[in-house]
Amino acid sequence: MSEGRLNGKVALVTGGGQGIGRAISLRLAKDGANIAIADLSLENAESVVKEIEEMGRKAIALEVDVRNRERVRDVVGQVTEKLGGLDILVNNAGVGAFNPIFEIEEKELDLQYEVNVKGLFFALQAAAEYMVKNGGGKIVNLASQAGRRGEPYALSYCMSKAAVISITQSAALALASDKVTVNAVAPGVVDTPFWVEVDKKFAKIQNLPVGEPKRRVVESIPLGRIEQPEDVANVVSFLAGPDSDYMTGQTVNVDGGNVLS
């Protein structure tokens, strides 16, 4: 039973207003942590806060665009002030982009870099600074199977998620002596609003009916079913808790067997 093993801990989850971030927030609350949810959508963040409060934990919602470095620093300050500390950061906020190679515009590359790479780094940097001064902590980044391999219609997204794996390794080494561990998860095809959009985009690119691209990728997953947000949350819970204390710099594939490494 994991319940209670994060009692007294404070976790900040970026992009926690829906999808995987919501499932992670609920799971860490079930483990005993109080949760700060920082999202572009304050409305979604507030709705997850209500769910967490119903579980008897403290939770706060904060509006953030992780591309705004000053705002990210401010959010970390507000979390430590309102919830009394910061022990866990889950760097989950992210966006996708899917286009054939000759249709990739500069603004697509910029957006992937700004949100998935720079935004993730801003949160990591601000949280780690607090953790180093306060005895340590745990950082978990959301990478993707797309960061492990190339994909024909996801060049910019793959690029950004490969960078997340690289940041995880360098930050882990930079922070190890200060008792901050940095790990990542690499999910596969997860049943969230994100994949509804991917499916529509792939249907257009490949001239297939909506629903068909998703059906095909799910059919090819070795474990034979689409991934649920809770499948990711279970592993994040492990990486955020004491059972992973001797792990750092790792990216754990949570993808039903899609990528073997």
Ligand X SMILES: NC(=O)c1ccc[n+]([C@@H]2O[C@H](COP(=O)([O-])OP(=O)(O)OC[C@H]3O[C@@H](n4cnc5c(N)ncnc54)[C@H](O)[C@@H]3O)[C@@H](O)[C@H]2O)c1
Footprint of ligand X (CB under 6 A): 14-15, 17-21, 39-41, 44, 64-67, 92-95, 115, 119, 142, 144, 187, 189-190, 192-195
In angstroms, give the least distance from the CB of 173 to ligand X: 23
The residues assigned a catalytic role are: 157
76 in Cβ contact with 127 (< 8 Å): yes
Phi, psi of 140 (to 5 degrees): -125, 120
In angstroms, give the least distance from the CB of 45 to ligand X: 8
Phi, psi of 167 (to 5 degrees): -60, -40
Q: Report the residue number, 179 or 201, with the smaller CB distance to ligand X.
A: 201
In angstroms, give the least distance from the CB of 244 to ligand X: 19
In angstroms, give the least distance from the CB of 178 to ligand X: 25
Q: Report the residue number, 65 or 108, with the smaller CB distance to ligand X.
A: 65
Phi, psi of 142 (to 5 degrees): -90, 105
The first and second tokens of residue 224, run together, are 């034979």
186 in Cβ contact with 235 (< 8 Å): no
